[in-house]
Structure 1
C-alpha cells in the first residue's frame, strides 16, 4: 500500500511536533471512551465527527475533528487520512456512517480505501463499502498550491492554471 507523506504547510507540521498522536482505536468501545474523554456530543443515533489517519502500522488513530491530520499522525507518514462520522447506538454498538479521504495535509488518493477497510475490518467496526465522500487532490504545477478538484474542474483555485489529470504529489507514479 502507498504511504503518504505530509504535503501541507510546514508551520502546521512544526506546531504538531511533540504533541500526542491521535487515540488508537482497537474496538467500538474505544470510540466511545475517546468521545467521552474528549467531550464529544454523544447522543444515540447522532454522528460524532473525528479526524482520522491509518498509520503505517495499519492502526486507526482518531482525534477531534478540528485537529490537523499531521498532528493525529504525530508527524509521520500515513496509509490514509480523512474525516469519519461514528454513530453510537449503545455502549457496545458503534458504526461508521460517513467517511472520506478529505485531508489537504496528506492529499491521499481514493485507493487508500483499501488500507482504511482493512483497519476497520480488523477492529470490527461496521462501515460503508467505500468512502462516502471522495476527494480528488492535485498540486498546481505553476504556483504549487494543493487543490481539491470538484465536478471535474481541473483548474487551480489560486492561479487558474490547468491541473494535471493524474495525482501528482510525488514522482513515484
Structure 2
C-alpha cells in the first residue's frame, strides 16, 4: 500500500521543493553519520522501495519530497565492531500515519540496503481518523477515543481516508 501525506498542508507546502531524504543502498552510506555514536533518523520507504533517511528533526513529508511512501517513522542505528546495526524502528509518523502492516516494506528496504531488520516496529503505532470531527489520532494503550471530541474511534484503519 502507498501512504499519502495526511498532515498539515502548510508543512507539505514547505516540503515540495526537494527531497531531503538521502538514499541508503549499503551500510557504508550511514558510516559518516555514525561517527559520533548512535544515530536516530527520520525515515521513509519510497514508492519504489528505497530507504531514505534524514535528520531526526526533519518532517517525513520533506524526507519523501512530498511523495507517497510505503512506510515512514523513526529508525535507530549503532556501530558495533565496525558493523552498522539497526537497533529500533517505529512507524511513528503523524504526517503519513502508516499502518503496522507497513513493516514488510521496511524489512525489504533494510535487506536491500544490506542491513538486518529488527523483529518489528517498536513502538508499533496505530492511527485512526475520527468519524465525527476528522481528527487524526495516535491510539495509545488501545484506547480508541478521539482526543479532539472524545468520540469512539473505529477499530479498522482509516487514517488515509479523506473526511
Q: State the TM bucket, normalised to the shorter chain.
A: over 0.9
What residue is the counterpart of 1:49 in the other structure?
40
Q: Counterpart of 1:17?
A: 16
SS of structure 1 residue aligned to 2:20: coil
| Alpha-carbon contact 1:42-1:88 (below 8 Å) kept | no
Corresponding residue of 2:61: 70
Shift of 1:144: 1.3
**Structure 1 segments unaligned to the other structure (5+ residues):** none
Displacement after TM superposition at 1:159 (Å): 1.3
Q: 2: distance between equivalents of 1:56 and 1:170?
A: 16
Q: Does the 8 Å contact 1:154/1:162 carry over to 2?
A: yes
Q: Which residue of 2 aligns with 1:95?
A: 85
Cα distance between partner residues in 2 of 1:170 and 1:79: 13
Q: Deviations over 1:49-87 (max 9, x none)?
A: 000000011000000111100000000000000000011
SS at match of 2:121: coil
Displacement of 1:170: 3.8
In 2 relative to 1, CA 150–55 (structure 1 residues): closer, same or farther, beyond 3 Å? same
CA distance in 2, matches of 1:87, 1:27: 15
Q: What RMSD in Å do the two structures reach over aligned CA positions? A: 1.4
Indicate conservation of the 8 Å contact 2:6/2:160, yes or no: no
Paired positions, count = 161
Helix, strand or coil at the partner of 2:6: coil
* 1:26 and 2:17 correspond: no
List gaps (5 residues or longer) in structure 2: none
User: 1:140 — aligned with what?
Assistant: 130
Q: TM-score, normalised by structure 2?
A: 0.93
Runs of 4+ in 1 over 2 A off after TM superposition: none
Which string of whole-angstrom CA distances, capped at 9 and with x for unpartnered residues, describes residues 86-136 of structure 1?
11125x410110101000000000000010111111111122121121000
